[in-house]
Amino acid sequence: MHGRLKVRSTEEQKLLKQKEQQKKLRAYKYAMNQVAATRKEIPFNKDSLMLCAQVLSVNPDVYTLWNYRKEVVLQQLEMSKDEEVDDALVSFLENEIKLTEQCLLDNPKSYSSWHHRYWILQRHPKPNWQQEFSLITKYLTFDDRNFHCWDYRRLIINKIGISLCNELNFSTERLNINFSNYSSWHYRSTLRKLDSECLEEELELVQNAVFTDPNDSSAWFYLRWILSDRNVTNEKREELLESLTQLLDMDPDCKWILMAKCWLTGSLSLTDNHFAEKRIMDYKKLKELDPLRKGQYSDYLECAKKAIGTEK
Amino acid sequence: MDYELPTEFDIIIVGTGIVESIVSAAASRIGKTVLHIDSQDYYGGFWASFNLEQIDKLCERNQNANVDISADVQLNEGERLIQIGNNNFDLKNTSQKWSIPEKLELKDVSENVEGDNCDVTETEADNGTGTEEVWTQEKLMRESRKFNIDIAPKIQFARGDFVELLISSNIARYSEYRSVSRVLTWLNGELEVVPCSRSDVFSNPKVSVIEKRMLMKLLGACMDSEENEFKDYKIKTFHTYLNDKRLTDNVIHYVLYAIAMSTVDTPCSEGVENIKRFLNSLGRFGKTPFLYSMYGSGELSQAFCRLSAVFGGVYALNQNLGGFVFDAENKFKGLVCGKQQVIKASHLVMGIEKSPEEFVKSVEVSYISRGIFITNGSVKGSEKEHLTLLFYPLKGGRELCNVIELGTLTGTCPKGIYIVHMFTKQINTPKEDLEECVSKLFQSEKEDSDVKDARPQVLWSFYYSAPDTNTANLRKDVPENAFLCPGPDCDLDIDYSIKKAKEIFNSMYPDVEFLPRAPDPEEIIIGDGSDEQIPKK
Amino acid sequence: MNQYVNKKFSNQYKATIGADFLTKEVQVDDRTVTMQIWDTAGQERFQSLGVAFYRGADCCVLVFDVTAPNTFKSLDSWRDEFLIQASPREPENFPFVLLGNKVDLEPRAISTKKAQQWCQTKNNIPYFETSAKEALNVEQAFKSIARNALSQQAQAVDLYNEFPDQIKLTNTAKSNNSGDSCAC
Task: Give which of B196, B207, B209 to mutate to test A binding, by max A Cβ within 10 Å.
Answer: B209
Cα–Cα distance measured from residue B12 to residue B316, given in angstroms and rounded to the nearest whole number? 11
Mean pLDDT confidence for A170-179: 93
Asked if residues C59 and C65 have their Cβ atoms less than 8 Å apart, the reply is: no
Cα–Cα distance measured from residue A210 to residue C10, given in angstroms and rounded to the nearest whole number? 66
Q: A234 with A175, same domain?
A: no
Domain assignment present for residue B455? The answer is no
Q: What is the pLDDT of residues C170-182, one digit of tens each?
A: 766 433 333 333 3
* pLDDT score, position B23: 98
Q: What is the pLDDT of residues C115-169, one digit of tens each?
A: 999 999 999 999 999 876 766 677 888 888 888 888 776 654 444 456 777 788 8
Mean pLDDT confidence for A163-173: 90
Q: What is the pLDDT of residues B469-489, one digit of tens each?
A: 998 889 888 999 999 999 999
**Structure-derived torsion over alpha carbons of residues B10, B14, B18, B23, reported in degrees to the nearest 10:** -10
Asked if residues A108 and A139 have their Cβ atoms less than 8 Å apart, the reply is: yes
Q: Which residues of B touch A214 (CB under 8 A)?
A: 213
**Structure-derived torsion over alpha carbons of residues B225, B228, B230, B235, reported in degrees to the nearest 10:** 130
Work out the pLDDT band at B283, boundaries 50, 70, 90. Answer: confident
Smallest CA–CA distance, residue A248 to chain B, in Å, is 11
Cα–Cα distance measured from residue A189 to residue A90, given in angstroms and rounded to the nearest whole number? 37
Q: What is the pLDDT of residues C38-61, one digit of tens each?
A: 989 999 989 999 999 999 898 999
* pLDDT score, position B531: 35
End-to-end CA distance of chain B: 7
B306 touches chain C (CB under 8 A): yes
Percent of chain B surpassing pLDDT 70: 89
Domain assignment present for residue B16? The answer is yes
Q: What is the pLDDT of residues B284-327, one digit of tens each?
A: 998 899 999 999 999 999 999 999 999 999 999 999 898 999 99
Domain assignment present for residue B448? The answer is no
pLDDT of A2 above 60: no
Domain assignment present for residue B134? The answer is no
Domain assignment present for residue B2? The answer is no
Total domain count, chain A: 3
* pLDDT score, position C179: 36
Cα–Cα distance measured from residue C174 to residue B158, given in angstroms and rounded to the nearest whole number? 12
Work out the pLDDT band at A16, boundaries 50, 70, 90. Answer: confident
Query: Can you give the residue range of the structural domain that contains B83?
Result: 8-89+296-362+472-523
Residues 458-487, chain B, touching C (beta carbon < 8 A): none
Chain-chain contact of A177 with B199 (C-beta, under 8 angstroms): yes
Mean pLDDT confidence for A172-179: 93
Q: A217 with A296, same domain?
A: yes
Containing B334, the helix (H) or strand (E) segment is strand B332-337
Average pLDDT value for chain A: 88
Q: A121 with A139, same domain?
A: no
End-to-end CA distance of chain A: 99
Q: A219 with A265, same domain?
A: yes
Q: Which residues of C touch B295 (CB under 8 A)?
A: 51-52, 55
- The closest CB to that of B526, out of C8, C68, C169, belongs to C8
Smallest CA–CA distance, residue C24 to chain A, in Å, is 19
Q: What is the pLDDT of residues B381-401, one digit of tens each?
A: 999 999 999 999 998 888 999
pLDDT of C110 above 50: yes
- Kindly report the CATH number assigned to the domain that includes residue B304: 3.50.50.60
Supply the pTM of this predicted model.
0.85
Chain-chain contact of C12 with A217 (C-beta, under 8 angstroms): no
Smallest CA–CA distance, residue C34 to chain B, in Å, is 14
Domain assignment present for residue B314? The answer is yes
* pLDDT score, position A179: 94
Name all domains of chain C by residue range, CATH numbers in brackets: 57-150 (3.40.50.300)
* pLDDT score, position C157: 47
Work out the pLDDT band at A144, boundaries 50, 70, 90. Answer: confident
B3-17, B117-131, B198-212, C127-141: segment of lowest average pLDDT: B117-131
C18 touches chain A (CB under 8 A): yes
Domain assignment present for residue A13? The answer is no
pLDDT of B446 above 90: no
pLDDT of B414 above 50: yes
Instruction: Report ipTM (2 d.p.).
Output: 0.84
Chain-chain contact of C183 with A147 (C-beta, under 8 angstroms): yes
Q: What is the pLDDT of residues A89-138, one digit of tens each?
A: 888 899 999 999 889 888 889 999 999 999 999 999 889 999 899 989 98
CA-nearest residue to C71 within chain B is B1
Average pLDDT value for chain C: 79
* 3-class secondary structure per residue, B13-60: EECCCHHHHHHHHHHHHCCCCEEEECCCCCCCHHHCEECHHHHHHHHH
Strand partners, B193: B184
What angle do helix axes A196-212 and A217-227 make, rounded to 10 degrees? 160
Chain-chain contact of C179 with A180 (C-beta, under 8 angstroms): yes
* pLDDT score, position B129: 39
Q: What is the pLDDT of residues B67-86, one digit of tens each?
A: 777 777 788 888 999 999 99
Opening angle at CA B404, ends B401 and B408, nearest 5: 165
The count of C-alpha atoms lying within 13 angstroms of the C-alpha of A94, restricted to the half-sphere facing its C-beta, is 9
Smallest CA–CA distance, residue A145 to chain C, in Å, is 6
- The closest CB to that of C163, out of B294, B318, B319, belongs to B294
Smallest CA–CA distance, residue C87 to chain B, in Å, is 8
Chain-chain contact of A2 with C183 (C-beta, under 8 angstroms): no
* 3-class secondary structure per residue, A183-249: HHHHHHHHHCCCCHHHHHHHHHHHHHHHHHCCCCHHHHHHHHHHHCCCCCCHHHHHHHHHHHHHHHH
* pLDDT score, position B103: 87
Mean pLDDT confidence for A149-156: 91
Q: A177 with A221, same domain?
A: no
Residues with Cβ within 8 Å of A154's Cβ and at least 6 positions away in sequence, in order, are A187, A190
Asked if residues A71 and A36 have their Cβ atoms less than 8 Å apart, the reply is: no
Smallest CA–CA distance, residue A108 to chain C, in Å, is 11
pLDDT of A267 above 70: yes
Query: Can you give the residue range of the structural domain that contains A276?
Result: 212-312
* 3-class secondary structure per residue, B449-516: CCCCCCCCCEEEEEEEEEEECCCCCCCCCCCCCEEEECCCCCCCCCHHHHHHHHHHHHHHCCCCCCCC
Mean pLDDT confidence for B359-387: 95
The residues of A whose Cβ lies within 8 A of any Cβ of B are: 1-8, 175-179, 207-209, 211-214, 243, 246-247, 250-251
Q: What is the pLDDT of residues A209-251, one digit of tens each?
A: 999 999 999 999 999 999 998 888 999 999 999 999 999 999 9
Cα–Cα distance measured from residue B233 to residue B211, given in angstroms and rounded to the nearest whole number? 23
Asked if residues C138 and C4 have their Cβ atoms less than 8 Å apart, the reply is: yes
Domain assignment present for residue B495? The answer is yes
Q: A154 with A116, same domain?
A: no
Beta-carbon pairs below 8 A across chains A and C: 27
- Kindly report the CATH number assigned to the domain that includes residue A307: 1.25.40
Residues with Cβ within 8 Å of B532's Cβ and at least 6 positions away in sequence, in order, are A1, A2, A3, C12, C13, C14
Total domain count, chain B: 1
Domain assignment present for residue B439? The answer is no
* pLDDT score, position C1: 63
Q: A154 with A174, same domain?
A: yes
Residue C28 vs residue A300, higher pLDDT = A300
Mean pLDDT confidence for C27-42: 84
Cα–Cα distance measured from residue A38 to residue A44, given in angstroms and rounded to the nearest whole number? 8
Domain assignment present for residue A7? The answer is no
Q: A119 with A147, same domain?
A: no
Average pLDDT value for chain B: 88
Chain-chain contact of A183 with C183 (C-beta, under 8 angstroms): yes
